[in-house]
Structure 1
């Protein structure tokens, strides 16, 4: 997969890039102690590296696109999110994902989006859970890899075009989930090591299974339902349930 030289040229947006964020331009502060990233967040190099999360959202429609599809999609909309360790929905970070567009005689069209969750309250409100997969060492590189992967498919993605890292090349199987799987493979295999992680593409099935089990467990606990029982557990709706995969523990309930 041909990647841009990040030392001499910026990450290029794919031709069918669609952003609803006003913070989508990458900029790096020369300060030694911190780096100002594309999404308006400041991270300390030592203490608060952003995380890469596998994110699950409930489904529903949006203007110009939808998080639902008839093509092999299950109960959730899947994305990768780069964000801080803060559990607050208002600080959830940026979602990188494929959005299903309209269907016509040529097939079903898709859009690649980088969605600042601060500016999309609908998506932030439907953020069911996240699984921490890795620490992000080089966010610029990770974003470039995501964009390059998205650019490897045609501008209005026909289901006959599947990302090169996808293991199943059946056209009807392309979905937000298969793109997320391909994106994880791209960043975890990259020779420049933009992530600090113990895991690789071979661990994907475990990630997916853990994410599904975690959301089901939270649903059984009543996490997504209003608390009406006297003496029941009070859940904070402002926070996103979070499971840290490499620590094998829940960090936000």
Structure 2
């Protein structure tokens, strides 16, 4: 019997910050089923966002299509989910820092990855190394941008599945 464990992805979005390479992308997580055969595949998004009135806030929400959320640039598959409740608890319990001007969404993502690794039971097969994930994500999205993947002329295709790299098998699964 083939396993149908949910998958955990790093999600990269444009941040809106221009001229600062470190802040070029907004980082978060997407979780969804292994099998994505339907046109729309329900999933969850977990991230922190910088709210104008409340500083950084954690957000968890269901998405109607985990393959193509609003503004998503790319997904990086990093883990097979073993215990979704444990994983959700890690997201919810990872601190959101409000009084440090250097704290960012990528700082939170790093902290979540470290917590998942320490926990040892929320995910199974995985690559949780921020030292590998961050440069791979930047390079992957950068190459897609260079090849015109996000060009305005492709706006009509915004609902198509976004580029997805599988870090577990070291291959692209959605171009």
TM-score bin (small chain): 0.7 to 0.9
Structure 1 residues 87 and 239: CA distance shift in structure 2, 3 A = farther
Count of residue pairs the alignment pairs up? 170
Q: Post-superposition shift, 1:226? A: 4.7
Matched position secondary structure for 1:126: coil
Unaligned runs of 5+ in 1: 1-44, 61-67, 160-170, 229-233
Q: What TM-score results when the alignment is normalised by the length of structure 2? A: 0.82
In structure 2, how many angstroms separate the alpha carbons of the residues matched to 1:190 and 1:138?
Answer: 11
Unaligned runs of 5+ in 2: none
Match of 1:74 in 2: 23
Q: Post-superposition shift, 1:236? A: 7.3
Match of 1:137 in 2: 82
Q: Post-superposition shift, 1:89? A: 8.0
Match of 1:248 in 2: 170
Q: Post-superposition shift, 1:46? A: 4.5
More helix by share: 2
Tell me if structure 1 keeps the 8 A contact 2:73–2:163: yes
Matched position secondary structure for 1:124: coil
Structure 1 residues 176 and 87: CA distance shift in structure 2, 3 A = farther
In structure 1, how many angstroms separate the alpha carbons of the residues matched to 2:126 and 2:81?
Answer: 12
- Confirm whether residue 211 of structure 1 aligns to residue 137 of structure 2: yes
In structure 2, how many angstroms separate the alpha carbons of the residues matched to 1:87 and 1:243?
Answer: 17
In structure 1, how many angstroms separate the alpha carbons of the residues matched to 2:49 and 2:85?
Answer: 22
Matched position secondary structure for 2:139: helix
Match of 1:158 in 2: 98
Matched position secondary structure for 1:184: helix
Tell me if structure 2 keeps the 8 A contact 1:223–1:235: no
Larger Rg: 1
Tell me if structure 2 keeps the 8 A contact 1:88–1:238: no
Structure 1 residues 212 and 73: CA distance shift in structure 2, 3 A = closer
Structure-to-structure mapping, 1:19-34, within 5 angstroms: none
> C-alpha root-mean-square deviation of aligned residues, in Å?
3.1
Match of 1:15 in 2: none
